[in-house]
Amino acid sequence: MTNNDRPKRRLRSQDWFDNPDHLDMTALYLERFMNFGTTPEELRAGKPIIGIAQSGSDINPCNRHHIELAKRVRDGIRDAGGIPIEFPSHPLFENCKRPTAALDRNLAYLGLVEILYGYPLDGVVLTTGCDKTTPSALMAASTVDIPAIVLSGGPMLDGWHDGELVGSGTVIWRSRRKYAAGEITREEFLERALDSAPSIGHCNTMGTASTMNAMAEALGMSLTGCAAIPAAYRERGQMAYRTGRRAVELVLDDIRPSRILTREAFLNAIRVNSAIGGSTNAQPHLMAMAKHAGVELTPEDWQIEGFDIPLLANVQPAGAYLGERFHRAGGVPAIMWELLQAGRLDGDCQTVTGQSIGQNVRERESTDRDVIRPYGQPLRERAGFLVLKGNLFDFAIMKTSVISEAFKARYLREPGNEGVFTGRAIVFDGSEDYHARINDPALDIDENSILVIRGAGPLGWPGSAEVVNMQPPDHLIRRGILSLPTIGDGRQSGTADSPSILNASPESAAGGGLAFVRTGDMIRIDLNQGRCDMLVDDQELARRRMEGIPVVPADATPWQMIYRQTVTQLSDGATIRDAEQFRAISKTPPRH
């Protein structure tokens, strides 16, 4: 169908640009755009005005090439009869924002909501890449509910160092251990990290960035195959052009996020996340996106829908390869094809392509079985997140796809009761405390210790930090013990290969059980029962409660104050409390 064949509708932007009742205001709205090259006639003609939410900037290098890609998006929008309007969104750069980019996800969300709601936009292209740029954009698109489509920036090219694949983040965690063991020098450490980033793009491992872009595609919010195309590939520019064209059609056909982001779509995303060995950050982000879409997701959904899905993508940190190979093997559509054949995906979910998931991934079987495994011959069975609870927290998750065989052999074995581990707690209050004391002999850390970190959640940090994947003390690493069980109310990087128990909610700063654990307590982890408890009697716990909860740093900025007043726990997506009551607000146009 050509755009001329589509039925004409009055567009939202015409309230601004073609409003005979408020001629003087219309004149005001129109006048400046002439300087920009867009004529009053054009603006009044009822052409769809498509925003391009620009997430790239010098401060967000993972998304910076969107500045170039946006030109292709504009071409697509123009060629399809729309008018492109590019604007900046609040930067979210994972590596450099202190105290954490997670603090800013809700801020970027708020900013984008105000832009999409308050300006004359009929639809929007959401440019995504670095970790939080994807969830913040989709959260806002749901709240406003104007036609929206995701354009991923794509991962960097594969990194190589001394003939070995080195991937974003993962190389850092692995090199840290080598450095601690005295196997590499400082220079070698830095070189390995630099070699992991050979081009434009976001992290090339299946970290949070690649995961969240895969989630956007799995949800049906990007064109088929969009997520995995490397940033530097020719196809990436072509995808930008096609995404721009499609944005105009979405407006003409009035296809809004609310038609796509259903509960079934979110369950699909949870399953895809397991199959790709996705980031543990997908849990709070999918929860947040679901909340703003008006969809209820529960902790059980992660366990029931996600846990027994096998690991199919052989991509770091759970597997061996990086983004280029994953894309060439078929990317997200090939993963979805596998799940669909196995009856583990709802193929009827609608997408921004105008077709269903099932139609989109038809004939998308992988061409490289080393990288994308058949459902029946996975890298690992039951690779989803395990959901845990107990007297330390009501909710936490563990990424089972990264549990190594060595770790399993050492810890997850009690005679006749595999999956149970009891260890002595070593408790740290924040990462400064961890770094200051991890090598302190007085702590007496051995292979039967469990490292606990608190004060790292949304309230405590504030923002929730990626600090739970704590490394053992140097003396254990030198003995070949590369990981200990860790527990925390913070998160861990999606690029980490640690089997941590994380995102514990409620957090210590909210009075959760972690606030009352002490170094020397025994902790029992039972993966079979999904339990994690400190073996402390009720009387003693009551006494500790009287002592109060550990203090956390004071607010350092106005936003930290507002954030702490409004944020929910990681189990609930760390969203702005009660913000989900605002939904589909584009239907009530703003006041003049």
From the CB of 252, what's the least distance to Mg ion, in Å? Answer: 38
CB of residue 453 vs ligand FES: minimum separation in angstroms?
21
Task: Report how many residues bind ligand FES under the rule CB under 6 A.
Answer: 10
Among 15, 86, 94, 533, binds Mg ion (CB under 5 A): 94
């969107």: which residue's tokens? 66
Regarding 507 and contact with Mg ion (CB under 5 A), the answer is: no
CB of 9 to Mg ion, least distance (A): 41
In the bound state with ligand FES, the residue whose beta carbon lies nearer, of 67 and 181, is 67
Q: Which of ligand FES, Mg ion, none does residue 493 bind to, with CB < 5 to 8 Å depending on kind? A: Mg ion
Q: Among residues 202 and 491, whose Cβ is nearest to ligand FES?
A: 202
**Considering only residues 113, 171, 209, 536, which one is a binding residue for ligand FES as defined by CB under 6 A?**
209
Instruction: Count other Cβ atoms within 10 Å, centred on residue 178.
Output: 17
Strands 449-454 and 420-429 come out as parallel
Rounded Cα–Cα distance for residues 552 and 509 (Å): 7
Q: Provide DSSP, 164-226.
A: EE--TTHHHHHHHHHHHTTSS-HHHHHHHHHHT--SSSB-SSSSHHHHHHHHHHHHT-B-TTT
Shortest gap between Cβ of 380 and ligand FES (angstroms)? 24
* Distance of alpha carbon 400 from alpha carbon 482, whole angstroms: 17
Of 48, 91, 154, 207, the one binding ligand FES by CB under 6 A: 207
493: contact with Mg ion by CB under 5 A = yes
Contact flag: residue 203 with ligand FES (CB under 6 A): yes
CB of 303 or CB of 493, closer to Mg ion: 493
Contact in structure between 486 and 587 (CB atoms under 8 Å): no
Q: Does 491 bind ligand FES (CB under 6 A)?
A: no
- For residue 415, the one-letter residue type is P
What token pair was written down for 331? 């990317």
User: What would the x/- binding string for Mg ion be over residues 111 to 130, using CB under 5 A?
Assistant: --------------------
Helix (H) or strand (E) holding 257: helix 257-260
Cβ atoms of 342 and 310 closer than 8 Å: no
Q: Answer with the entry of Mg ion, ligand FES, none that 203 interacts with (C-beta below 5 to 8 A by kind).
A: ligand FES
Min CB(405)–Mg ion separation in Å: 26
Q: Are 504 and 457 in contact (CB under 8 A)?
A: yes
Q: Please report which residue ranges of 361-488 form alpha helices under DSSP H.
A: 405-411, 430-437, 474-478
Integer Cα distance of 76 and 78 in angstroms = 5
Q: Are 193 and 170 spatial neighbours (Cβ–Cβ below 8 Å)?
A: no
Between CA 51 and CA 54 the distance in angstroms is 9
163 — alpha (psi -120 to 50), left (phi > 0) or beta?
left
Q: Which of 60, 180, 202 is nearest to 478 (CA)?
A: 180
Judged by CB under 6 A, the stretch of 15-23, 68-76, 103-111, 203-211 that binds ligand FES is 203-211
CB atoms < 10 A from the CB of 375, how many?
A: 18
* Closest CB to Mg ion among residues 391, 492: 492
Least distance (Å) from Mg ion to the CB of residue 279?
A: 8
Residue whose entry in the numeric block shows the structure tokens 């991934």: 361
90 binds ligand FES (CB under 6 A): no
Regarding 359 and contact with ligand FES (CB under 6 A), the answer is no
Among 53, 62, 216, 450, binds ligand FES (CB under 6 A): 62
Interface map 156-195 toward Mg ion (x if CB under 5 A): ----------------------------------------
Pick from 376, 195, 233, 400: nearest CA to 317 = 400
DSSP state of 302: I
Quickly list H helices, 548-585.
558-566
Which residue lies nearer to ligand FES by CB, 226 or 339? Answer: 226
The answer to the question of residue 519 lying near ligand FES (CB under 6 A) is no
Residue 168 CB, shortest distance to ligand FES, in Å, is 6
Q: b/e for 413-428, b at 16 or more Cβ within 10 A?
A: eeeeeebbbebbbbbb
Residue 349: exposure state from Cβ atoms within 10 A (0-12, 13-18, ≥19):
buried
Residues 116-175 that bind ligand FES (CB under 6 A): 130-131, 168
- 498 contact, one of Mg ion, ligand FES, none, CB 5-8 Å limit per kind: none
Taking contact as CB under 6 A, which single stretch among the options 68-76, 202-210, 330-338, 356-364 is the one that binds ligand FES?
202-210
x/- letters, 45..84, toward Mg ion (CB under 5 A): ----------------------------------------
CB of 131 to Mg ion, least distance (A): 5
CA quadruple 497, 503, 504, 510: dihedral sign: positive
Q: In angstroms, give the least distance from the CB of 132 to Mg ion.
A: 9
* Region 91-110 residues binding ligand FES, contact defined as CB under 6 A: 94-95
Tokens standing for residue 315: 């991509």
**Which of the ranges 245-253, 307-315, 488-496, 571-579 carries the binding residues for Mg ion, by CB under 5 A?**
488-496
231 versus 576: smaller Cβ distance to ligand FES: 231
- Interface ranges with ligand FES (CB under 6 A): 62, 94-95, 130-131, 168, 202-203, 207, 209
- Interface ranges with Mg ion (CB under 5 A): 94, 208, 493
